[in-house]
Every structure is written in C-alpha cells, then in structure tokens.
Amino acid sequence: MKIAIGDLTDFARGAAFLGTGGGGDPYVGRLLTENVMRDYGEVEIIDADQVPDDARVIPSALMGAPTVIVEKLMRAEDTSIAFRRLETLLDRKAYATMPIEAGGVNSLLPLVTGAKLGLPVVDADGMGRAFPELQIVTFSVYGVACSPMTISNEHEECVIVEARDNHSSEALARTVCTRMGGLATIALYPMSGADLKRSAVRKTMSLALEIGRTIRRAREASADVFEALKAYLGTTEYYTHSRIIFDGKIVDMRRETKRGWSIGHCTIEGFGGDPSRMEITFKNENLVARVDGRVRAIVPDLICVLDRETAEPITTEGLRYSQRVKVMGVSVPAIMRTPEALAIFGPKCFGIDEPFQPIETLD
C-alpha cells in the first residue's frame, strides 16, 4: 500500500480521529507532509509482518504541547535530524520508520521521514491512539526501551538521552523539549522487527486512512456520517465497538499549557431540552468523559469529539465555546486493554479514580 498526496486529507482526518483529541493538528500535519511529498513522492506503507525479525525500526515523532505545534510550524528540512543522528549513534541504518502514536501530526511525521529518507513506514504505532507521555506506549508495556533517543530542533541542535528507564527518558526529553521552545523532533524506541511484532498496535495507518475516507464519502453522499463511521468501525478487527455518547454544545472550556502539556476540561450541554451535561477531562488527549458525574468512556478507549454536522474530529486545542459536537466512544485493541497495558496507561496513571470499563459495557 502507498500513501500519496491525494490521500493526505483523508489520512490526516482519520489520524486525528484516532488521536482522541491529541496527536497534533491534522491541518498542520497535512501541510508539512504535502510539502515533502511534492519533492520526494509517495510513501510505501508495509505490514509489520513484512519487517524481518532482525531488521532495525526507528519510530519518529514530534514532541511538544499541541498548542505549540499549531503556533510553531516545523520546517520539513529539520524533521529528519533526530532520526539520522540516532542511526549514526547506533551505527546502523533503519529498515523502516513508524509512528509512536496515532494523531493528526504524529501519524504523518513518519511519512515525512519516510519520504525524505526513502524508507517505508510500518502500518502500526505504539499507542493505537495518542497519549501525552513518551513512556505511555505499548512498546513500554512489552519491554522495549525508549532510549537511546534523540531530540532535535530547528537550529539543528541535537540532544541524545540515554536513560535508565522509559519514565526517565520522558522526563529528560520533556525538559529538553521545553527548553528548545516547546517543540522538537524525536527519534526513539529503536527496536528489532521481532520487538515490533510483539509490541506494536497493528494496522493503525491503514485504519486512519479508511476512517478519513469513510467520513468524506458519507459527506459526499449526504449520508449520515456517524452511522457510516459506526458501520465501518464495526468491520475492523479491533476498533469494533463505537457509539455516540453525547450530543450537545460546548458551554465551558478550561485549558492551560503547563510544563509542556495542554491540560484542561470541557463541558458540553445536552441538545434539545436534554438537561444533562458531559464533562471531558484531557491532558493533550481526552481521558475521561462523564455525564452528570457518571463515566461514559474512559482511557484507553477513544473519546472522539466530532463536529455535529461533518464529523470532523476536533483536537483538544481546537475545542471552542459554543461548538456543536457529537462525542463518540470507541473500543481499542486487546493489546491495549491487558492488565500490563492498563498499568501503564489505565485511568490510575492519569490520576482518575474510576477503574477502566470497556465502552461496550457502559451502554
């Protein structure tokens, strides 16, 4: 499978859907990628099974608060410095790159790296959605080390972190990223094909493309976009269960950019005389959605805030007072719901008291 310029709008939209509020702004992600693809051509997407067990895969990503990603656009020529530096450090060329998370920027950045360096991108990622910290990935859950990792900025500066564990990699990289102005390109979790196969969330690149296409086609056919989405997700292997968990208007927004993250709450008031209110808590990504205090969807399941008419995904930094939205809850793959996975990115990891409850049990 190839991703070409013509696919990018659909792909970025679908990736933003999976980003569940985070993972970067799809407009920014698309602009950056279009620019590079115009010069370097389309990118090959390969299945994880196509990667030899002893090959080296290096994920690439943007690090930073979504609010900063929107304000400070990365130049395409700066995006591969960290990647190249990690290859040199490891004294080994990468066989492929891949995303660490699904999102409007971070699903696309590996396409930029792939296009520029002539590498395929693996159809997988390390979160199956977006998360706000580097150690909150399935790679961590299944024992892959985040470091050595590299962090670079628009001045072609590079910092290499060799930390004792993935939590410390995140802490050191975050402080460097903040000092670099809140935005940096990173290359991290260098891993073998064998590690990739046992630790990654599979097929999320093709999933993003199909989600984006489904939304566009339903719009073009003037069909019910939400029904179309539900129908498509029902046919996928893992993101099978989806449901509209709220329909209303944003009446209150609290958001701050703090220590490199975008943190806040969003309150949505029910439509058509519905007296109930949904409150969504986020840290870059939506983490829990409660209606009148009762959990309706909770991390790691997806909480996707969509435009009420077009089903366009709205990132947390795009949320505005008075927007009319539908909120969709979506189940995530089994690899993200194991006890080991929930120990790394379950509700408790984000200071949420309620335990994880699969969306399909919250009807």
CA–CA distances in Å: residue 233 to residues 155, 160, 210? 42, 40, 9
Closest to its own copies by CB, 35 or 168 = 168
Q: Tell whether residue 172 is a contact of its own copies (CB under 8 A).
A: yes
Task: For 161, list phi and psi in degrees, rounded to 5.
Answer: -110, 130
Q: Tell whether residue 35 is a contact of its own copies (CB under 8 A).
A: no
Please check whether residue 354 is in contact with residue 318, taking contact to mean a CB–CB distance below 8 angstroms.
no
H/E element, 167: helix 166-179
- Going by C-alpha positions, the residue among 303, 305, 297, 310 that lies closest to residue 357 is 297
Q: Tell whether residue 90 is a contact of its own copies (CB under 8 A).
A: no
As measured in angstroms, the least distance from the Cβ of 170 to its own copies is 11
Query: Which positions from 145 through 164 interact with its own copies, judged by CB under 8 A?
Result: 155-164
Q: Tell whether residue 352 is a contact of its own copies (CB under 8 A).
A: no
Please check whether residue 219 is in contact with residue 312, taking contact to mean a CB–CB distance below 8 angstroms.
no
Q: How far apart are CA 110 and CA 186, in angstroms?
A: 11
Q: How far apart are CA 236 and CA 162, in angstroms?
A: 38
Structural tokens at position 172: 């050191």
As measured in angstroms, the least distance from the Cβ of 162 to its own copies is 4
Q: Tell whether residue 204 is a contact of its own copies (CB under 8 A).
A: no
As measured in angstroms, the least distance from the Cβ of 168 to its own copies is 6
Q: Which of 85, 216, 290, 308 binds its own copies (CB under 8 A)?
A: 85
Given the rule CB under 8 A, which of 165-173, 258-266, 318-326, 340-348 is the region that contacts its own copies?
165-173
As measured in angstroms, the least distance from the Cβ of 105 to its own copies is 24
**Per-residue buried b or exposed e for 32-63, using 16+ beta carbons within 10 Å of the residue's own CB:** bbbbbbeebeebebbebeebeeebbbbbbbbb
Closest to its own copies by CB, 123 or 154 = 154
Closest to its own copies by CB, 89 or 117 = 89
Q: Tell whether residue 181 is a contact of its own copies (CB under 8 A).
A: no
Q: Tell whether residue 77 is a contact of its own copies (CB under 8 A).
A: no
Point out which residues bind its own copies (CB under 8 A). 85, 155-164, 168, 171-172, 175-176, 178-180
